[in-house]
Structure 1
Amino acid sequence: MKFENVLLGLLARRPYSGYDLRKWLETEGQFVWAKAHHSQIYRKLAQMESDGWVRHEVDSREGRPDAKVYRLTERGHDVLLEWVRSPYEPTSRLQETDFTARLSMAAPLDRDVAIELVRTELAYRRAQIAKNRHRDRSLHYEDPVPGFDQEIDRYVHDSLHLLGAGAMDHWVAWLERTLLRLTHGTDRSD
Structure 2
Amino acid sequence: MRFEYVLLSLLAARPYSGYDLGRWLESEGQFLRPRAHHSQIYRSLARMVADGWVRYEVDAREGRPDAKVYRLTLLGREVLLEWVRSPYEPPSRFQEPDFMARFGFAAALDRRAAVALLRTELDHRRAQVARSRGRDRTMRFQEPIPELDPVRAQAVFDRMHEYGMRAVDQWIEWLEDMLHRLEEGEDAR
TM-score tier (shorter)? over 0.9
TM-score, scaled relative to structure 2: 0.93
Q: Where do residues 18-37 of structure 1 align in structure 2 (5 Å cutoff)?
A: 18-37=18-37
Counterparts of 1:187 and 1:27 in 2: how far apart (Å)? Answer: 24
Match of 1:66 in 2: 66
- Say whether the 8 Å CA contact 1:115–1:179 is kept in structure 2: yes
2:117 matches 1:127: no
Counterparts of 2:166 and 2:141 in 1: how far apart (Å)? Answer: 27
| Cα separation, partners in 2 of 1:187 and 1:153, compared to 1, 3 Å | farther
Which residues of structure 2 form unaligned runs of 5+? none
- Say whether the 8 Å CA contact 2:55–2:71 is kept in structure 1: yes
- Say whether the 8 Å CA contact 2:33–2:98 is kept in structure 1: no
The one-letter code matched in structure 2 to 1:153 is A
The one-letter code matched in structure 1 to 2:158 is D
Deviations 1:152-190 (A, max 9, x none): 1111110110111011001000000000110113389x8
Counterparts of 1:48 and 1:69 in 2: how far apart (Å)? Answer: 13
Match of 1:138 in 2: 138
Which residues of structure 1 form unaligned runs of 5+? none
Q: Where do residues 74-153 of structure 1 align in structure 2 (5 Å cutoff)?
A: 74-153=74-153
2:139 is paired with a residue whose SS is coil
Same amino acid, percent of matched pairs: 61
Number of aligned residue pairs: give it: 189
Query: What's the RMSD between the two structures over aligned residues?
Result: 1.7
Match of 1:54 in 2: 54
Deviations 1:43-89 (A, max 9, x none): 21111112111111222222211211111111101000111111111
Moved over 4 A (4+): none
TM-score, scaled relative to structure 1: 0.93
